[in-house]
């Protein structure tokens, strides 16, 4: 559509045509979307969201109220300018309860399509907007009410993967089993893209713990320096303590004030953490500066957990553990292999696997062990025919520092060797390669990570 942000020109004697009002409405909305996209730094994500927790145990996901901005600038306010959203997830219930599946939840908005109406008059026909009749009060006479048609945004809920096609999608959370293994809940430990830090209780809790930690470290350093001042001694061996005190005291106080303002965008916290990394590198030169990850608004939990761990280790003077990386090589349309050495198998609990996510479908794929099976290469054809399970692995959130790639495009998994069958398979790997079988899906880029060096702190 040409001139979609231009307002209609109203003039005397103008016919009362609905196109004029539609153009004015479209112009205002489109312009606000563009302003949000081009003037805000990561100005998309959730402002707040409240879920009906009772309906979750009846396998129905229902948003009571929420406000968020999509990547394209669209502002969704439920129930302000958008229709109520609910969707059943009965078919995932068994996997949530039996397999401890954390079910991704996506909120998606259909984009306008050329030559098609933007407004739907039926819930069966999904379009960007839906018509809904509401009783509206008269601003001048409170009892003078009339029903009018409202044009509401019509967001949809999808589980697992985002919808294919012409949609704008935002992962708003996960449905998971509570620690009591009985209740289904909205997983608060997952941190979605957020507009402000106050939108995620888990983000605030982690930040509080970290700020308390570095302020305590600053107090310890201050006590040490104060004692030297009392004794009127300047010990050059304590220069690192001086640098550490300066860095921690400054950043600790700044972060303490930032976290008190719940409207602070998460990227501002990220900037302060990166600045602290740079200052601590003066007294911790053994930590390469390129270990600081790029900001990823769609992966806030892993990015911030990594930075918190990195800074804590820099304070303690810990040298980051080193890992060897080995890529799986494609040997057929759906089979991969990876050569491993006997000595690596001495510490199976320090062998990790990762996947590069070119798209969100790859990330969801690796979560499903029925679709990616990792076994000794000699078993690869057998599990395809007999449908045997592969080696057990699970997603990890506390990723070892040296494993996190600087482009933030890998997800990490750890092997589970508690099962007897898995232990027998690892023994066979002393004499043959590791194989991966991908069943009915896009072949991802897999990589093995093996511990090679571990240096202690000082």
The candidate with the shortest Cα–Cα distance to 89, out of 56, 64, 63, is: 56
Taking only the tens place, the pLDDT of each residue in 240-297 is: 677 778 888 899 999 999 999 999 999 999 999 999 998 888 776 666 666 788 899 9
| Whether the predicted pLDDT of 455 surpasses 50 | no
Q: Where are the domains of the chain?
A: 18-189, 201-316, 322-453
For residue 332, what are its two tokens?
């057929």
DSSP secondary structure letter of residue 129? E
3-state DSSP assignment of residue 240: helix
Taking only the tens place, the pLDDT of each residue in 328-364 is: 888 877 788 887 777 677 666 678 888 876 644 555 5
CA 262 – CA 200 distance, rounded (Å):
10
Q: How far is CA 440 from CA 32, 394, 457, in A?
A: 42, 21, 46
For residue 436, what are its two tokens?
């991966």
The candidate with the shortest Cα–Cα distance to 100, out of 431, 410, 416, is: 416
CA 430 – CA 393 distance, rounded (Å):
19
Whether the full predicted model's pTM is greater than 0.85, yes or no, is no
CA 134 – CA 128 distance, rounded (Å):
19
What lies within 8 Å, CB to CB, of 230 at 6+ separation is none
| Distance of alpha carbon 305 from the chain centroid | 12
CA 173 – CA 167 distance, rounded (Å):
18
CA 174 – CA 179 distance, rounded (Å):
15
Query: What are the two backbone dihedrals, phi and then psi, of residue 187, each rounded to the nearest 5 degrees?
Result: -65, 105
Taking only the tens place, the pLDDT of each residue in 51-95 is: 999 999 899 999 999 999 999 888 999 998 899 889 999 999 988
CA dihedral 6, 8, 11, 17 (to 10 degrees): 170
User: In the 3-class helix/strand/coil scheme, how is 288-300 assigned residue by residue?
Assistant: CHHHCCCCCCCCH
Taking only the tens place, the pLDDT of each residue in 124-155 is: 788 888 988 888 888 888 778 888 888 899 99
Query: What are the two backbone dihedrals, phi and then psi, of residue 230, each rounded to the nearest 5 degrees?
Result: -60, -40
In degrees, rounded to 5, the angle at the alpha carbon of residue 205 between the alpha carbons of residues 171 and 191 is 10
| Whether the predicted pLDDT of 416 surpasses 80 | no
Burial of 112 (0-12, 13-18, 19+ CB in 10 A): middle
- Are 245 and 219 within 8 A, CB to CB? no
For residue 223, what are its two tokens?
């006590």
| Whether the predicted pLDDT of 107 surpasses 90 | yes
3-state DSSP assignment of residue 190: coil
User: Higher-confidence residue: 216 or 416?
Assistant: 216
- Are 94 and 103 within 8 A, CB to CB? no
CA 248 – CA 238 distance, rounded (Å):
15
Q: What is the pLDDT of residue 280?
A: 86
């Amino acid at each position: 559509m040409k001139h979609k942000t231009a307002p209609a020109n109203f003039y005397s004697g103008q016919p009362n045509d609905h196109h004029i009002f539609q153009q004015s409405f479209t112009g205002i909305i489109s312009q606000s979307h563009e302003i949000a996209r081009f003037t805000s730094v990561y100005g998309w994500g959730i402002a707040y969201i409240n879920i009906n927790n009772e309906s979750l145990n009846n396998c129905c996901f229902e948003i009571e109220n929420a406000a968020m901005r999509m990547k394209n600038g669209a502002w969704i306010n439920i129930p302000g300018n958008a229709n109520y959203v609910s969707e059943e997830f009965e078919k995932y219930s068994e996997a949530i309860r039996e397999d401890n599946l954390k079910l991704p939840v996506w909120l998606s908005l259909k984009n306008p399509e050329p030559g098609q109406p933007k407004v739907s008059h039926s819930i069966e026909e999904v379009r960007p907007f839906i018509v809904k009749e509401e009783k509206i009060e008269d601003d001048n006479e409170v009892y003078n009410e009339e029903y009018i048609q409202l044009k509401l945004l019509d967001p949809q809920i999808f589980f697992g993967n985002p919808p294919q096609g012409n949609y704008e999608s935002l992962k708003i959370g996960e449905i998971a089993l509570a620690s009591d293994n009985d209740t289904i809940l909205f997983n608060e430990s997952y941190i979605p893209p957020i507009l402000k830090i106050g939108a995620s209780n888990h983000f605030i809790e982690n930040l509080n713990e970290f700020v308390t930690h570095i302020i305590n470290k600053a107090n310890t350093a201050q006590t040490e320096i104060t004692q030297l001042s009392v004794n009127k001694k300047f010990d050059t061996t304590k220069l690192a303590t001086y640098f550490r005190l300066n860095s921690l005291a400054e950043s600790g106080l700044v972060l303490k004030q930032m976290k008190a303002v719940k409207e602070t965008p998460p990227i501002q916290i990220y900037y302060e953490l990166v600045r602290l990394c740079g200052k601590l590198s003066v007294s911790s030169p053994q930590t390469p500066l390129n270990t600081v990850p790029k900001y990823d608004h769609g992966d806030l939990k892993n990015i911030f957990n990594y930075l918190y761990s990195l800074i804590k280790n820099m304070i303690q003077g810990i040298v980051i553990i080193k890992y060897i990386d080995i890529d799986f090589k494609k040997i057929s349309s759906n089979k991969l292999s990876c050569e491993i050495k006997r000595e690596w198998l001495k510490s199976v609990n320090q062998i990790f696997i990762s996947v590069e996510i070119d798209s969100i479908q790859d990330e969801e794929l690796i979560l499903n062990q029925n679709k990616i099976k990792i076994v000794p290469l000699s078993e690869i054809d057998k599990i395809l025919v007999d449908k045997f399970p592969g080696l057990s692995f699970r997603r990890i959130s506390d990723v070892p520092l040296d494993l996190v790639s600087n482009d933030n495009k890998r997800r990490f998994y750890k092997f589970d060797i508690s099962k007897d069958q898995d232990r027998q398979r690892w023994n066979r790997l002393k004499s043959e390669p590791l194989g991966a079988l991908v069943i009915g899906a896009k072949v991802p880029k897999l990589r093995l990570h093996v511990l090679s060096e571990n240096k202690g702190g000082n």
